[in-house]
Chain A
Amino acid sequence: MAIQGIDFANLSLKDALDLAILVEDEAQERYEEFATQMDQHRTPDAAKFFRYMVENEAKHGRELLARRIQRFGDAPRSVTRAMIFDIEAPDYDAARAFMSPRKAMKAALASEVKAYDFFVAALPALKDTEVRALFEELRDEELEHQKLVNVELAKLPPDSGLSDEDFVDEPAAQ
């Protein structure tokens, strides 16, 4: 998780909204990638969950975008995707072939925690009150997301205790 080229002290509300949108964008894309990886590795339950996360992130992204357009129309954007690194997107390392839905959910949970930490860490530097309010809101939003994932986790039947690795084929040489 990292961010580059952003001066939090002088972050404007427009830029803060754009930043938040990009964070959701990045997460949405990563979940999409994970879902594809799971499809390719025939891990359908995890793929299904990652698609659910794509939807969540997209929805949140759309809400933020609506607010941005309402306030600032299509005024040019000055923050870019190149400035943010895995803020809410799960790390690539979090995915595994044949991962159980439980593991997939834990990966998502970890990235929501990561995003929460990001907003918390940014808060002290913020000067603009509107921006502060937005970040607080986003921070709380991440808590909501964590709850959401926890709800999904709770729905899972108990773990069989068996490892998938005991059933799957060996990797194939190329």
Chain B
Amino acid sequence: MRKDLVFGMAGSGGDGIVSAGDSLLQAAAAEGYHGVMTKSFGSQIRGGESSCRVRISTTPVLNPGGNLDVAVALNWDDFLKFGAELPVSGTTVVIYEAATNIPEDQIPLVGVTPLQVIAVPIAAMAKETAGTERAKNTVVLGLIAGWFGIGAVAVMKGIRKKLAKKGDELVEANQRAFDAGRAFAMAHPLKASMNIVASETKGNVKLITDGNDMSAAAAIFAGCQFFGGYPITPSTEVMQFFTDQVWKYGGSVLQAEDEIAGIGAAVGASFAGKKSMTATSGPGLSLKCEMMGLASIAELPLVIIDVQRGGPSTGLPTKTEQSDLFAAAFSAHGDVIRPVLAPTSVADTFRIVIEAFNIAEYYQTPVIVLSDQEIASRKETLDPIDTSQFKIIDRLRPTAAELQGYTRFKQTENHISPISHPGMLGGTYLASGIEHVESGAPTNSGSVHQRMNDKRTKKFDPLKDRKDLFEITGNPNAPLAMVAWGSVAGVCREALAMAQAEGMNVKLMVPYLLYPVAEGAYNEFFASVQKGLIIDQTHLAQTFKLLRMHIDLPKGVHPLSRSGANPFLPGDIVAALHHLLSELQRSHEGELQPQE
């Protein structure tokens, strides 16, 4: 019996393998399991290679998993195009389409001998039972139900619901295809049973959503009243959610003519006193920089979600990467700090986006949320979130007394000045991108520039002390350490558990606040560290370099970085930790015996 299964399925868009993944995840959630699903596509709009990874577990899932337990190839060419995204190992059961005419001992996977390889006449079964080969995906779901014990009832329940409007004919065809798959599995049991144990939480309500929808819902919850943006993969769904929902809350959304106009409108809405935001991806972030500079100097709250994809430029529009870190931290010219936050999962996207609005409002600043393609597009099952635990912060508005002779950029102890907005009697002022004195009047004085730069940067000091924006797990005094953020953090959490299970003395820091770099938090974390890894999905080891810029990292701390679309598996990270550990041991030995 298994407690956790990772499925990787590939075919073409015409095979409907991604919608099969969706059905599987939904069925698993209905049966009380936790799960996460990621999708990956080739570069065609329709019918190109497509794949999904579905991980199902009896305990909450931290990431899409490592090597596959179950690989499903409807066609080998398509499967192989995903390379490291669908890794097969000696513990994988490989199920593939018999019509590919490849013998079971000759499947085109080099360097691995899977646990078991089964050719299944999937297309033939679909044709025979449903009357069309296109029902292959439903046959696959039947096979999964039969072999792994997931969704025997729930899958068809879900499909029935989904297709109800399309007529009985279609539903029955699917039912026959599903039953055929299941019967095949029953008739051909696996060498070693891989049934998943029943979930203890069966019957509990589970939410299923992805990072984009989650961030939009969080924004609306936080009080966001305006979204201005421009479509760009993989962030467009944030705007789509707004176009569905925001009107109901009295807000509005504008699909602008480009990114500059989108963020421009959001800056305007913020000036007008409303919480506002935009969302984009790399190329759009580049365009928004000038407006971000404006919002910084005009001290206007604003949230920018950047769903990272492979860059630079158009790069890899559908694959995840973390390479916008520098671009986010240093997004516009001038001496300025713009906070950068990063969620690590769909679940904590809710909290991080609310946090982003709170920080934006409190500090009167643009805040960038660095999401990434994986978190944004992956679907997760979630336990219901108690929304009453979240505090919502609004910008500091001037009191009636302060509106007598109002000074917009008044110097205060915490460098934060009450902010008025058009419509407020007595609060009129000039917002501007030019340097200004406290009243808002333009200046070109060096001393004022110095003073206002001080105000605009020092106001962030308390932010760096926010311990709750850093998660530290493992032994706090461990000599071995990891730092990881965003979707990579989930992989590292699992790697930590694996390493600890092997007896390694190791710890992990997951920063939710990436910028400004909180020197104190890192110095404290690294105090016990002799060897460590700064892990990210960038080619230039951007996280390592950003930290080095601010902190004297211990000598034994190295980057572990790779370009996007080359996912880290928990096992990769554990292997790197082993390497560090042996170095550590060698250096201790070296202390005793002089080296040759």
Q: Is A in direct contact with B (CB under 8 Å) within the complex?
A: yes
A→B interface (CB under 8 Å)? 40-43, 97-98, 160-162, 164, 166-174
- Is residue B233 contacting chain A, with contact meaning CB distance below 8 A? yes
- Is residue B134 contacting chain A, with contact meaning CB distance below 8 A? yes
A40–B173 CB distance below 8 A: no
Within 8 Å by CB of A164, from B50, B132, B234, B317, lies B132
What B residues does A41 contact at CB under 8 A? 12-14, 44, 46-48
What B residues does A168 contact at CB under 8 A? 13-16, 19, 46-47, 134
What A residues does B173 contact at CB under 8 A? 160, 162
What A residues does B236 contact at CB under 8 A? 173
Q: How far is A98 from B78 in the complex, measured between Cα atoms in Å?
A: 16
Q: How far is A172 from B45 in the complex, measured between Cα atoms in Å?
A: 5
B137–A167 CB distance below 8 A: yes
- Is residue B17 contacting chain A, with contact meaning CB distance below 8 A? yes
Whole-angstrom distance from the CB of A104 to the nearest CB of chain B? Answer: 14
Whole-angstrom distance from the CB of A76 to the nearest CB of chain B? Answer: 43
B43–A174 CB distance below 8 A: yes
A166 and B166 contact, Cβ closer than 8 Å, known pairs A97-B47, A172-B318: yes
Whole-angstrom distance from the CB of B210 to the nearest CB of chain A? Answer: 13
What B residues does A42 contact at CB under 8 A? 11-15, 47, 75, 78
The 10 closest A-B pairs by CB, nearest first: A160-B131, A41-B47, A42-B12, A167-B134, A172-B41, A173-B233, A97-B46, A169-B13, A97-B47, A169-B18
Q: How far is A97 from B132 in the complex, measured between Cα atoms in Å?
A: 15
Within 8 Å by CB of A174, from B13, B137, B163, B318, lies B318
B17–A167 CB distance below 8 A: no
B166–A98 CB distance below 8 A: no
19 A-B contacts, Cβ less than 8 Å apart?
A41-B13, A41-B48, A42-B12, A160-B131, A160-B132, A160-B173, A162-B134, A167-B16, A167-B19, A167-B134, A168-B19, A168-B47, A169-B14, A169-B17, A169-B19, A172-B42, A172-B45, A174-B43, A174-B317
Tell me the residues in window 108-156 of chain B with beta carbons closer than 8 Å to chain A beta carbons: 130-132, 134-138
Tell me the residues in window 231-264 of chain B with beta carbons closer than 8 Å to chain A beta carbons: 233-234, 236
A164–B131 CB distance below 8 A: no
Instruction: Give me 14 other A-B pairs in contact (C-beta within 8 A), A97-B14, A161-B169 excluded.
Output: A40-B47, A41-B14, A41-B48, A43-B14, A98-B14, A161-B131, A162-B131, A164-B14, A166-B166, A169-B17, A170-B18, A172-B44, A172-B318, A174-B233
A171–B13 CB distance below 8 A: yes
Q: How far is A174 from B46 in the complex, measured between Cα atoms in Å?
A: 11
Q: How far is A170 from B47 in the complex, measured between Cα atoms in Å?
A: 9
What B residues does A40 contact at CB under 8 A? 44, 47-48
- Is residue B272 contacting chain A, with contact meaning CB distance below 8 A? no
What A residues does B130 contact at CB under 8 A? 160, 162
What B residues does A161 contact at CB under 8 A? 131, 169
Closest A residue to B77 by beta carbon equals: A42
What A residues does B16 contact at CB under 8 A? 167-169
- Is residue B170 contacting chain A, with contact meaning CB distance below 8 A? yes
B50–A169 CB distance below 8 A: yes
Q: How far is A141 from B271 in the complex, measured between Cα atoms in Å?
A: 74
Q: How far is A13 from B166 in the complex, measured between Cα atoms in Å?
A: 57
Whole-angstrom distance from the CB of A138 to the nearest CB of chain B? Answer: 36
B46–A171 CB distance below 8 A: yes
Tell me the residues in window 157-179 of chain B with beta carbons closer than 8 Å to chain A beta carbons: 163, 166, 169-170, 173
B→A interface (CB under 8 Å)? 11-19, 41-48, 50, 75, 78, 130-132, 134-138, 163, 166, 169-170, 173, 233-234, 236, 317-318
What B residues does A98 contact at CB under 8 A? 14, 46-47, 134
Closest B residue to A42 by beta carbon equals: B12
What A residues does B78 contact at CB under 8 A? 42
A162 and B169 contact, Cβ closer than 8 Å, known pairs A42-B75, A169-B17: yes
Q: How far is A174 from B166 in the complex, measured between Cα atoms in Å?
A: 29
What B residues does A160 contact at CB under 8 A? 130-132, 173
What A residues does B135 contact at CB under 8 A? 167
What B residues does A43 contact at CB under 8 A? 14, 47
Whole-angstrom distance from the CB of B97 to the nearest CB of chain A? Answer: 12
Whole-angstrom distance from the CB of A66 to the nearest CB of chain B? Answer: 38
What A residues does B163 contact at CB under 8 A? 166
Q: How far is A167 from B177 in the complex, measured between Cα atoms in Å?
A: 12
Closest A residue to B173 by beta carbon equals: A162
What A residues does B41 contact at CB under 8 A? 172
Q: How far is A168 from B14 in the complex, measured between Cα atoms in Å?
A: 5
Closest A residue to B133 by beta carbon equals: A45
Whole-angstrom distance from the CB of A21 to the nearest CB of chain B? Answer: 34
Q: How far is A54 from B173 in the complex, measured between Cα atoms in Å?
A: 35
Of listed A41, A42, A171, A174, residue having the most chain B CB within 10 A: A42
Q: How far is A167 from B78 in the complex, measured between Cα atoms in Å?
A: 18
Closest B residue to A174 by beta carbon equals: B317
Whole-angstrom distance from the CB of A34 to the nearest CB of chain B? Answer: 14
Whole-angstrom distance from the CB of B569 to the nearest CB of chain A? Answer: 24
Closest A residue to B233 by beta carbon equals: A173
Q: How far is A172 from B138 in the complex, measured between Cα atoms in Å?
A: 20
What A residues does B13 contact at CB under 8 A? 41-42, 97, 168-169, 171-172
Q: How far is A74 from B344 in the complex, measured between Cα atoms in Å?
A: 71
Of listed B12, B78, B138, residue having the most chain A CB within 10 A: B12
Closest A residue to B234 by beta carbon equals: A173
Q: How far is A48 from B42 in the complex, measured between Cα atoms in Å?
A: 23
Q: How far is A97 from B236 in the complex, measured between Cα atoms in Å?
A: 25
Whole-angstrom distance from the CB of B158 to the nearest CB of chain A? Answer: 15
What A residues does B42 contact at CB under 8 A? 172
Q: How far is A98 from B14 in the complex, measured between Cα atoms in Å?
A: 6
A172–B131 CB distance below 8 A: no
Of listed A40, A160, A168, residue having the most chain B CB within 10 A: A168
Closest A residue to B13 by beta carbon equals: A169
What B residues does A172 contact at CB under 8 A? 13, 41-42, 44-46, 48, 50, 318
Whole-angstrom distance from the CB of B288 to the nearest CB of chain A? Answer: 20
What A residues does B14 contact at CB under 8 A? 41-43, 97-98, 164, 168-169
Whole-angstrom distance from the CB of B237 to the nearest CB of chain A? Answer: 9
Q: How far is A168 from B233 in the complex, measured between Cα atoms in Å?
A: 21
Of listed B50, B78, B132, residue having the most chain A CB within 10 A: B132
Q: How far is A168 from B50 in the complex, measured between Cα atoms in Å?
A: 11
Q: How far is A43 from B47 in the complex, measured between Cα atoms in Å?
A: 8
B45–A174 CB distance below 8 A: yes
Q: How far is A172 from B48 in the complex, measured between Cα atoms in Å?
A: 9
Q: How far is A106 from B225 in the complex, measured between Cα atoms in Å?
A: 52
What B residues does A97 contact at CB under 8 A? 13-14, 46-47
Q: How far is A167 from B136 in the complex, measured between Cα atoms in Å?
A: 9
Closest B residue to A158 by beta carbon equals: B131
What A residues does B138 contact at CB under 8 A? 167
Q: How far is A40 from B136 in the complex, measured between Cα atoms in Å?
A: 19
Q: How far is A166 from B13 in the complex, measured between Cα atoms in Å?
A: 12
